Amino acid sequence: MKFTNEFKCVFPAVSANEALARASLSAFLIPADPTAQELADLRTVISEAVTNAIVHGYRNSSGEVSICLRMLPDRVLYIRVSDKGCGIPDIQKAMEPLYTSVPEEERAGLGFAIMQEFTDNLHVRSTPNHGTTLTMRRKLGQIYAEE
């Protein structure tokens, strides 16, 4: 995969690091001169992905979350977020809006819906008991619907 810049990091799956993931993405993206909406969308996307890894992947047990960000040719941002948690037994069901595997946590079940809405494509690879990897791409400089 050809890219002009890359950022990788690994951090413990604790909720305080959700803000760290958003800050890392902002710092990586700013040189590419995103619009305010692109930056806001992609901060939301990485926050959802990392929260999923912490809440669903590890169910608040300990583990590590890995992030890889790449700037691909033609201003395409590539985001990969992976965990070595419990995995998703039924990806289709997990992606249904309002579905959540942890109802007691008061989750809205909208993480995947938001990630799909704010990226051009989303790919989920998951193996039960081995973990989940989400990869997403978004081309900068497109007119996005709404607002």
Are the C-beta atoms of residues 32 and 140 closer than 8 Å to each other?
yes
Q: Which SS3 state, helix, strand or coil, does residue 136 take?
A: strand
Q: Tell me the closest approach of the beta carbon of residue 77 to other proteins, in angstroms.
A: 17
- Pattern 6-35, binding to other proteins, x per CB under 8 A? ---------xx-xx--x-------------
How far apart (Å, rounded) are the C-alpha atoms in residues 138 and 47?
Answer: 15
At 85, list the tokens: 């948690």
Q: How far is CA 99 from CA 4, 15, 96, in A?
A: 37, 21, 6
* Residues belonging to the chain: 147
Q: Tell me the closest approach of the beta carbon of residue 76 to other proteins, in angstroms.
A: 21
Binding other proteins by CB under 8 A: which of 7, 107, 124, 140?
107
Instruction: Identify whether 18 is a catalytic site residue.
Output: no
The single residue of 18, 22, 38, 48 carrying the catalytic annotation is 48
Binding site for other proteins (CB under 8 A): 15-16, 18-19, 22, 37, 40-41, 43-44, 47-48, 51, 54-55, 105-111, 113-114, 117, 146-147
